[in-house]
Chains A and B, each alone.
Chain A
Amino acid sequence: GAGVSQSPRYKVAKRGQDVALRCDPISGHVSLFWYQQALGQGPEFLTYFQNEAQLDKSGLPSDRFFAERPEGSVSTLKIQRTQQEDSAVYLCASSLSTKNYGYTFGSGTRLTVV
């Protein structure tokens, strides 16, 4: 497609439930990033892929968070045993190059844990 597509747009999860958030980057984009954005704040880095390789996962808040990009295109961010503090917008961005110049962001998935 023309842009970065994320699904679902909204997700309400009960505390303790597992969720999976999907990102379809722009075709051919090598780099893929996940960010977490709390209300009124700037995005915070979670993890970075270059093709299928996860080169940095230092921003993942806990071992309940897991991301994958098995074929170097679509990526999934999985959160196990969701907690209320996980409530946020999860943004995916992709970039044609291996540097982060020229990011394109998706519209995000708003996760609410109740």
Chain B
Amino acid sequence: GESVGLHLPTLSVQEGDNSIINCAYSNSASDYFIWYKQESGKGPQFIIDIRSNMDKRQGQRVTVLLNKTVKHLSLQIAATQPGDSAVYFCAENSNYQLIWGAGTKLIIKP
């Protein structure tokens, strides 16, 4: 079936360095992708989205890259801060549902 998955379950990054979180998706017909951040005990929080007619989108300290050829998404976080510690999910729009991967836990080393 359709699925969205992540390559790495945990990512440790030095504070101040850039973080890159990867995601693979399987439905080539998907036209909308979202990255969410989820802190412990909280609901997912929207970070950035991208539509399939784009290959890059930038926000504040974050950039999402979409490679439709290999069905791959990445989230880049610049100058990672302690407050970036969380689990990051990519999600794929499928009609009105979001299909989620299992998440990547980002750990910031001081």
Interface residues of A (CB under 8 A from B): 4, 31, 33, 40-45, 48, 55-56, 59, 91, 93, 98-108
Are A42 and B89 closer than 8 Å at their CB atoms?
yes
Determine how close the nearest CB of chain A comes to the CB of B34; give it in whole angstroms: 8
Determine how close the nearest CB of chain A comes to the CB of B22; give it in whole angstroms: 15
Are B103 and A100 closer than 8 Å at their CB atoms?
no
Closest to B41 in A: A107
Are B46 and A103 closer than 8 Å at their CB atoms?
yes
Of A4, A43, A98, most buried by chain B (CB within 10 Å of CB) is A43
Write the B35-55 contact mask toward A (1 if CB under 8 angstroms, else 0).
000000111111001000000
Are A100 and B93 closer than 8 Å at their CB atoms?
yes
Are B45 and A105 closer than 8 Å at their CB atoms?
yes
Q: Which residues of A contact B99 (CB under 8 A)?
A: 45
Interface residues of B (CB under 8 A from A): 4, 32, 34, 41-46, 49, 89, 91, 93, 96-103
Determine how close the nearest CB of chain A comes to the CB of B35; give it in whole angstroms: 12
Are A106 and B98 closer than 8 Å at their CB atoms?
no
Determine how close the nearest CB of chain A comes to the CB of B29; give it in whole angstroms: 16
Determine how close the nearest CB of chain B comes to the CB of A30; give it in whole angstroms: 11
Are B103 and A40 closer than 8 Å at their CB atoms?
yes
In the assembled complex, the Cα of A111 lies from the Cα of B100 at a distance in Å of 21
Are B43 and A106 closer than 8 Å at their CB atoms?
yes
- What are the 4 tightest A-B residue pairs by CB atom distance, in nearest-first order? A42-B100, A105-B43, A45-B97, A107-B43
Other-chain residue from B34, B42, B91, B96 in contact with A56 (beta carbon distance below 8 A): B96
Q: A42-B89, A42-B91 are in contact. Are A104 and B100 (CB under 8 A)?
A: no
